[in-house]
Structure 1
Amino acid sequence: MFWKTPLLSVTKTETPLNTPISDLTFTVFDTETTGFAVGAQDRMIEIGAVQVKNKEVQEAETFQMHVNPNRNIPKEITELTGISNETIEHAPTSLEAIQSFIDFNKKTNSAIWVGHYVSFDLLVLKKELQRHQYRIEIPTTIDTLDLIGYLSPSKIMHDLENYASQFGTRIYSRHEALGDALTTAHLFCDLLYHLENRGKYTYADLLDISDLSKRNIQF
């Protein structure tokens, strides 16, 4: 397939492995879609993100954008997310939304992305970009599921709200991209403190716990 020049290069810096986690800036993000078949007929309809600095959620530094999927939104998705065909009628394209998301990352100088079941969100971005014949360099990504698996191997649930409840994390509006990003960000910060109690303080520790080898989505 012919590829155009990469859309934008996300901030790529050589972070020393001994960097304390408290010195890192993270972008916690989430997407909403018309369904799970994002490699076929389903499309992104919203993307949201928030920054984490010094192991604290920066609620003043958020990003949210609806996306026009160029297809009807199923009734059950509207009931779940509150996003209707009217909501996205004049919304930006997925390409415009992803570019704005990358600009948000560059503005805040974040080079690490975090998500809950982040492989799905990365796949959403990949497929949307492929439809426009674009690609980008994806930075290091951290999945909260990997951190939970390290801290509590017996927990096998995938649902964000269940995990947040078990860890005593504040829960925001569910199935809204920004709301889920905020919930994930607070859960991520809670997990970082638990990791610290296990003697995990550095960027290297975080990478060691994160099972990046299984995340083989090539951009």
Structure 2
Amino acid sequence: MFWRKSFVPTAQTNKDIPLNTPATNLTFTVFDTETTGFAVGSQDRIIEIGACQVKNGKVQEKTFQTYVNPKRDIPPEITELTGISNVTVEQAPHSLEAIQDFFQYVEEGQGDIWLGHYASFDLLAIKKEIQRHQYRIDFPICLDTLDLIGYLSPAQHMLDLEIYASQFGSRIYDRHQALGDALTTAHLFCELLYHLEERGKTTLFDLMEISRITKRHTLF
């Protein structure tokens, strides 16, 4: 394998952020993907990307959503779950084009930090799509709401986003749709920030210390 060129998503906007920066002074890009299945490290592909941003502790109005043509059939059970069919993605951009559009949204919004619910899954899905096109990419800091919830409620071991949103009293949007799940995660994150502040956890360093995803990721 060879790398045709370097492919950088956000112009390293978070590279020099002081770790003592208050979380409410940062812009978080909250993202989610829908895929053809759960084996995103091998055969499964992205079929939708959705994102929104949290700035000054509030969810912003400008959002991002695109379907993605996976160049393979979408299983019936995934269509039933997400509402996304082969017809839905027939005229959609291919994965690299869709990811580039997503990165442009991140850069335009100056999204310092990425954040997701079970973010490792969505990061892997994006990494594998980029790897298939033989590109190299540097990822920014990415935090996971599951880690933050684990700190606030150690007894919780579920992954279900809707259950957590209900427990923390935050808004719930369309489930198993990338933008809907990103918005649900963003509003949940705002509630988590409030509870973390009550415990004296207010800075980027605090969030990184809590989260197990503390380093920028490089795909080789």
TM-score by length of 2: 0.95
CA distance in 1, matches of 2:41, 2:147: 24
Letter in 2 for 1:24: L
Shifted more, 68-77 versus 37-46: the winner is: 37-46
Indicate whether 1:149 and 2:150 are aligned.
Answer: yes
Q: Which residue in 2 is equivalent to 1:8?
A: 8
State the shift of 1:10 in Å.
1.4
* CA contact 1:11–1:111 (8 Å) conserved in 2: no
The total of aligned residue pairs comes to 217
Q: Which residue in 2 is equivalent to 1:78?
A: 79
Shifted more, 131-140 versus 91-100: the winner is: 131-140
* CA contact 1:11–1:139 (8 Å) conserved in 2: no
TM-score by length of 1: 0.95
State the shift of 1:111 in Å.
2.1
CA distance in 2, matches of 1:217, 1:176: 26
State the shift of 1:9 in Å.
3.8
State the shift of 1:209 in Å.
0.8
Residue aligned with 2:65, SS: strand
State the shift of 1:204 in Å.
1.2
Letter in 1 for 2:144: D
Residue aligned with 1:212, SS: coil
Pick the aligned partner of 2:21 from 16, 19, 22.
19
Runs of 5+ in structure 2 lacking a partner?
none
Q: Which residue in 2 is equivalent to 1:107?
A: 108
Q: Which residue in 2 is equivalent to 1:45?
A: 47
Letter in 2 for 1:69: P
Letter in 2 for 1:32: E
Deviation per residue, 1:112-161 (Å, 9 max, x gap):
10000000000000110111111221000000000001101000111111
Q: For residues 144 and 129 of structure 1, do their structure 2 counterparts lie closer, same or farther at Cα, with a shift above 3 Å needed? A: same
CA distance in 1, matches of 2:42, 2:204: 36
Residue aligned with 2:62, SS: strand
State the shift of 1:6 in Å.
2.1
Q: Which residue in 1 is equivalent to 2:95?
A: 94
State the shift of 1:212 in Å.
2.0
CA distance in 2, matches of 1:32, 1:80: 10
CA distance in 2, matches of 1:89, 1:3: 29
State the shift of 1:41 in Å.
1.8
CA distance in 1, matches of 2:20, 2:11: 19
Q: Give me the CA root mean square deviation.
A: 1.4
CA distance in 2, matches of 1:216, 1:50: 20
Letter in 2 for 1:157: M
CA distance in 1, matches of 2:69, 2:104: 19
Shifted more, 176-185 versus 103-112: the winner is: 103-112
Letter in 2 for 1:101: F
Q: For residues 73 and 9 of structure 1, do their structure 2 counterparts lie closer, same or farther at Cα, with a shift above 3 Å needed? A: closer
Deviation per residue, 1:32-88 (Å, 9 max, x gap):
000011122211000000010011111x21000000000011111111101010000
Residue aligned with 2:63, SS: strand
Residue aligned with 1:189, SS: helix
Letter in 1 for 2:152: L
